């Protein structure tokens, strides 16, 4: 960016969005090198295209939409690479086996979900978000990515499956596993006995 | 004990999760309701799913 004339005050505003964009890219790519690359490409594209930014949306929304394209490019490359090495079915069998372990032979919870004390209050606590982040990071890579696209971006499940190169039912299993994994991690590390108040 | 065609927790939790992806059929909704009437653990799971959805949105969008 140093070659470009630093006359537009919005350049600093763009740079200020970098941490947010990094977090956004990390959640989907789960690889800091790939994420940095995508963010860098997005910021460069934004600076070059700043004239076309009309201010109808917020700067962050505009930058995020550019970043989405860059992330999609990265993911296409990654998926192509991965599909040469493994098949989606093997992964899904692994997810099914993981789910099996959560329930006994009659289909009852081995580790029954507890009533969480005052979850709304947790949302206001910084330490809760640290726990949430750690739990997200522990999800299997693909589970975390699919969960993010579905729950945060609200992307259509069919589109997500297509991008991941897997069937709809495998996609559901992956999402289900991610939710169960996140649930049990939060229960263990936050909502469990004695930690519900974050103390 | 529950009749054999009743849902167990494994099936009920799967349907609860699936409800986020597609509309459940009438039969699925009925079976799920019957199960939730009697299973506090799956009721807990249902509220946790809603919480996760909310927390995930909040985490990334502030």
Q: Model confidence over A116-145: pLDDT tens digits?
A: 999 999 999 999 998 998 898 888 888 888
What pLDDT is stored for residue A196 in this prediction? 44
Confidence of residue B1 (pLDDT cuts 50, 70, 90): very low
A123·B61 Cβ contact <8 A: no
Kindly identify which residue of chain B lies nearest to residue A151, measuring between CA atoms: B53
ipTM of predicted assembly, 2 dp: 0.90
Mean pLDDT on A91-108: 83
Query: Looking at the whole model, is its pTM more than 0.90?
Result: no
Estimate the crossing angle of helix A59-85 against helix A18-29, to 10 degrees.
30
Mean pLDDT on A176-195: 86
Residues from A contacting B (CB-CB < 8 Å) are 23-24, 27, 99, 102-103, 106-109, 112-116, 119, 123, 129, 132-133, 136, 147-148, 150-152, 157, 171-172, 175-176, 179-180, 182-183, 186-187
Strand-pair partners of A103:
A109
**Burial of residue A170, with CB atoms counted within 10 A of its CB: 0-12 exposed, 13-18 middle, 19 or more buried:** buried
Confidence of residue B31 (pLDDT cuts 50, 70, 90): very high
What pLDDT is stored for residue A187 in this prediction? 93
Q: Which residue has the higher pLDDT, A51 or B31?
A: B31
What pLDDT is stored for residue A91 in this prediction? 62
- Backbone angles phi and psi of A103, in degrees to 5: -125, 150
All residues at 6 or more sequence positions from A3 whose CB lies less than 8 Å from its CB, including other chains = none
What pLDDT is stored for residue B5 in this prediction? 61
Q: Model confidence over A21-37: pLDDT tens digits?
A: 999 999 988 888 889 98
Among A27-36, A146-155, A160-169, B8-17, the range with the most confident prediction by mean pLDDT is B8-17
């Amino acid at each position: 960016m140093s070659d470009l004339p630093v006359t537009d005050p919005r350049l600093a505003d763009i740079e200020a969005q970098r941490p947010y964009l990094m977090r956004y890219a990390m959640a989907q790519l789960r690889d800091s090198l790939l994420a940095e690359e995508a963010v860098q490409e997005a910021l460069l594209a934004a600076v070059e295209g700043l004239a076309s930014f009309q201010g109808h949306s917020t700067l962050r929304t505009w930058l995020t939409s550019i970043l989405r394209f860059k992330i999609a490019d990265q993911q296409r490359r990654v998926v192509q690479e991965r599909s040469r090495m493994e098949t989606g079915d093997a992964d899904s069998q692994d997810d099914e086996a993981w789910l099996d372990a959560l329930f006994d032979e009659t289909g009852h919870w081995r580790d029954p979900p507890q009533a969480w004390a005052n979850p709304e209050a947790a949302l206001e606590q910084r330490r809760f978000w640290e726990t949430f982040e750690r739990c997200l990071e522990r999800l299997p890579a693909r589970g975390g990515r699919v969960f993010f696209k579905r729950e945060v971006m609200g992307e259509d499940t069919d589109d997500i499956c297509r991008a991941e190169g897997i069937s709809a039912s495998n996609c559901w299993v992956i999402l289900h596993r991610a939710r169960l994994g996140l649930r049990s991690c939060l229960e263990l590390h936050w909502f469990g006995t004695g930690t519900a108040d974050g103390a | 004990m529950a009749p054999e065609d009743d849902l167990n927790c494994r099936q009920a939790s799967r349907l609860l999760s699936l409800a986020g992806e597609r509309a459940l059929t009438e039969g699925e909704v009925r079976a799920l309701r019957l199960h939730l009437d009697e299973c506090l653990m799956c009721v807990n799971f249902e509220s946790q799913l809603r919480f996760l959805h909310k927390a995930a949105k909040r985490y990334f969008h502030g």
